[in-house]
Amino acid sequence: MVFTGTFDEAGLTRAIVETKRAGFDLIEIPLMDPATFDRHLAARLLREHDLAASASLGLSESTDLTSADPAVVAAGERMLGECLDIVGAIGGTHLCGVIYGAMRKYMEPATPAGRASSAAALRRLASRAADLGIHLSLEVVNRYETNLMNTAREALVFIDEIGHDNVSVHLDTYHMNIEEAGLLTPVLDVGGRLGYVHIGESHRGYLGSGTVDFGSFFRGLGRIGYDGPVVFESFSSAVVNANLSNTLGIWRNLWQDSADLAAHANTFIRNQLAATESIAIQ
Ligand code: MN
């Protein structure tokens, strides 16, 4: 979403070439519409440009694993199964995001039955994912995008309910900045069960231009010895995917120059990681 909101050949090529050029080793592909995604094209482009890939998505009301309607839960499980096949086909090892329920503002709390339904489906999907060499990570997002879990501690409780070791926590600094009391303790609490990281600023624009306490977050990653994906996430009305932009409320233009934004983010993240490593040496 830094370079394109359209995942046809032109969009994928631009995203892959520019992500590599900005200094990243991996690109995360949104799989909001797996039915129209060309996995063979993506696999070829990733190979050609020597870039690793992961995939993410948020479920919708028609694929909500917490739904009281078994047909909706079945549709969600089917769609996630399809996403696993796609991740496998593009050589990815991680599927993450809001894959436990619909990514939307709920007008009521999660129900015990909804939690149990989602946990059961994710337990089955985790086994299937393990067979494909893919790891599932559940993204902790703010109260306006899920009612199931908004903090790292709540995520640990839900992952215990799933009870499968191929499922881990996916933390995102943008959401943590809204819901957590600080950015260090949640990382330490999750520890070895942290499987995926999104680095986003408080307004989802340039890193370092908002209120997120990145120093504490990266020190936490260093303390737990985290070695999984660290992915920059940013949105602006300059790049639009109707499905995703409207759900996330991207109404404002935070940047225009995708290449400058991405190169800046890559340097920012690598500098934070290097600074954290320098502390570990002492
Ligand atoms: Mn995120």
What ranges do the domains of the chain cover?
9-280
Count CA atoms closer than 13 A to 189's CA, side-chain side: 17
Q: How far is the centre of ligand 1, averaged over its atoms, from the C-alpha of 282 (Å)?
A: 32
Q: Return the CATH number of 9-280, one of 3.50.50.60, 3.40.605.10, 3.40.50.10420, 3.20.20.150.
A: 3.20.20.150
Question: Helices (DSSP H) in the chain: which residue ranges?
Answer: 9-21, 39-48, 70-89, 112-131, 152-162, 173-179, 185-190, 214-224, 242-248, 258-281
Question: What count of Cα atoms within 13 Å lies in the side-chain half-sphere of residue 266?
Answer: 17
CA of 58 to the centre of ligand 1 (A): 10
The confidence score (pLDDT) of residue 282 equals 60
Neighbouring CB atoms inside 10 A of 111's CB total: 12
> Which parts of the chain register pLDDT below 70?
281-282
Rounded Cα distance between 236 and 248, Å, is 11
Q: How far is the CA of 101 from the centre of ligand 1 (A)?
A: 15
Q: 97 CA distance to ligand 1 centroid (A)? A: 7
CA of 76 to the centre of ligand 1 (A): 20
Query: What pLDDT does 197 receive?
Result: 98
Looking at the annotation, which residues are catalytic?
139, 233
Residue 54 Cα to ligand 1 midpoint, Å, equals 13
